[in-house]
């Protein structure tokens, strides 16, 4: 397996400084970014780019999100140790590992079989173990495992899915980019069993959430 060297650790410190300067304040988020070796989630030929604050192709037309975006979404999620968290769009597994590093109990789902298999193979060697890693359509959430404290969607959703709101505990939080083309980062806070408040946190650009059967 590829290694995590002092050079990589140094690059991660610089990345954390950059992300901090862009406005991320949650120390636990910054610490997780400093700890998780992002380069090990990318193909070895691209390792040199791993600590630039940019998204990057991971195959199957998908990307590992930009580190700032990962930090921004994670900060909005207000992760507490022991939180039961559903992530939709596992991709490289990087974001899932950030959540696990922060003490989250992570349930994650990926729609594309080749990415699912690749990441399922990768995570144990890095020492990260999701509570559940499943292959399928996350648009409807994970009804069998609900309710969750937190739900994080890492692909652009055309609309806010009711199923996800139903699967959230009262007091829970969903962070989800909503819109086609460009997305609005929405934060949903469930105030009781049926009511919720909706916040807007600026525009981002994500790969679209696949709502039909993927070509695999
Ligand atoms: N969290 C990822 C970012 C992945 S990009 C990371 O840290 O690398 C978004 C991912 O969502 C892609 O891997 C894509 O295949 C997946 N995806 C798209 N539609 C989906 C769906 N309906 N259910 C689950 N995953 C989906």
Is position 214 within any domain?
Answer: no
Exposed, middle or buried by CB within 10 Å (0-12, 13-18, 19+), for 20?
A: middle
Looking up residue 163, the CATH number of its domain turns out to be 3.40.50.150
Q: Nearest residue CA, atom 13 of ligand 1?
A: 91
Is position 57 within any domain?
Answer: yes
Is position 11 within any domain?
Answer: no
Q: Tell me: pLDDT of 215 over 70.
A: no
Is position 42 within any domain?
Answer: no
Q: What is the pLDDT of residues 48-96, one digit of tens each?
A: 789 999 999 888 888 899 999 999 999 999 999 999 999 999 999 999 9
Q: Which atom, in ligand 1's list, is nearest to the CA of 209?
A: 19
Distance 209 CA to ligand 1 centre (A): 7
Ligand 1 pocket: which of 59, 65, 89 to mutate (most atoms <8 Å of CB)?
89
Q: What is the pLDDT of residues 155-180, one digit of tens each?
A: 999 999 999 999 999 999 999 999 98
Q: Pocket residues for ligand 1 (CB within 6 Å)?
A: 62-65, 88-89, 91-92, 94-95, 109-112, 115, 137-139, 154-155, 207, 209-210
- The yes-or-no answer on residue 45 being catalytic is no
Averaged pLDDT for residues 94-116: 97
What confidence score (pLDDT) does residue 216 get? 46
Query: Which pTM was predicted?
Result: 0.96
Question: Which of 45, 65, 134, 180 does the annotation list as catalytic?
Answer: 65
For residues 156 and 185, give the distance between their C-alpha atoms in angstroms, rounded to a whole number.
Answer: 9
Residue 1: band (very low, low, confident or very high) from pLDDT cuts 50, 70, 90: low
What confidence score (pLDDT) does residue 213 get? 53
Distance 92 CA to ligand 1 centre (A): 9
Query: What is the count of structural domains for the chain?
Result: 1
Is position 23 within any domain?
Answer: no
For residues 110 and 184, give the distance between their C-alpha atoms in angstroms, rounded to a whole number.
Answer: 22
Averaged pLDDT for residues 136-150: 96
Q: Which domain holds residue 100?
A: 53-204
Averaged pLDDT for residues 168-193: 97
Q: What is the pLDDT of residues 22-32, one digit of tens each?
A: 999 999 999 99
Averaged pLDDT for residues 149-159: 97
Ligand 1 pocket: which of 33, 37, 67, 91 to mutate (most atoms <8 Å of CB)?
91
Q: Tell me: pLDDT of 46 over 80.
A: no
What confidence score (pLDDT) does residue 62 get? 87
Q: Tell me: pLDDT of 38 over 90.
A: yes
Distance 63 CA to ligand 1 centre (A): 8
Is position 145 within any domain?
Answer: yes
What confidence score (pLDDT) does residue 212 get? 62
Is position 99 within any domain?
Answer: yes
Residues 6 or more apart whose CB falls under 8 angstroms from that of 16 comprise 30, 33, 34
Is position 43 within any domain?
Answer: no
């Amino acid at each position: 397996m590829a290694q995590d060297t002092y050079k990589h650790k140094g690059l991660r410190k610089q990345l954390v400084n950059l992300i901090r300067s862009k406005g991320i304040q949650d120390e636990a988020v910054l610490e997780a970014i400093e700890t998780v070796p992002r380069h090990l989630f990318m193909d070895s030929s691209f390792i040199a780019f791993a600590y630039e604050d940019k998204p990057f192709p991971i195959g199957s037309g998908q990307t590992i999100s930009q580190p700032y975006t990962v930090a921004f979404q994670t900060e909005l999620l207000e992760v507490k140790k022991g939180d039961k968290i559903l992530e939709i769009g596992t991709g490289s597994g990087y974001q899932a590992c950030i959540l696990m590093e922060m003490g989250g109990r992570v349930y994650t789902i990926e729609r594309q079989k080749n990415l699912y298999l690749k990441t399922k193979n990768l995570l144990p060697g890095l020492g990260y173990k999701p509570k559940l890693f499943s292959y399928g359509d996350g648009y409807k959430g994970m009804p069998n495992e609900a309710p969750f404290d937190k739900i994080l969607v890492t692909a652009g959703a055309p609309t806010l899915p009711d199923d996800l709101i139903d699967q959230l505990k009262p007091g829970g939080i969903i962070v989800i980019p909503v819109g086609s083309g460009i997305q609005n980062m929405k934060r949903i806070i469930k105030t009781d069993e049926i009511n919720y408040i909706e916040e807007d946190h600026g525009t981002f650009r994500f790969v679209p959430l696949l709502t039909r059967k993927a070509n695999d």
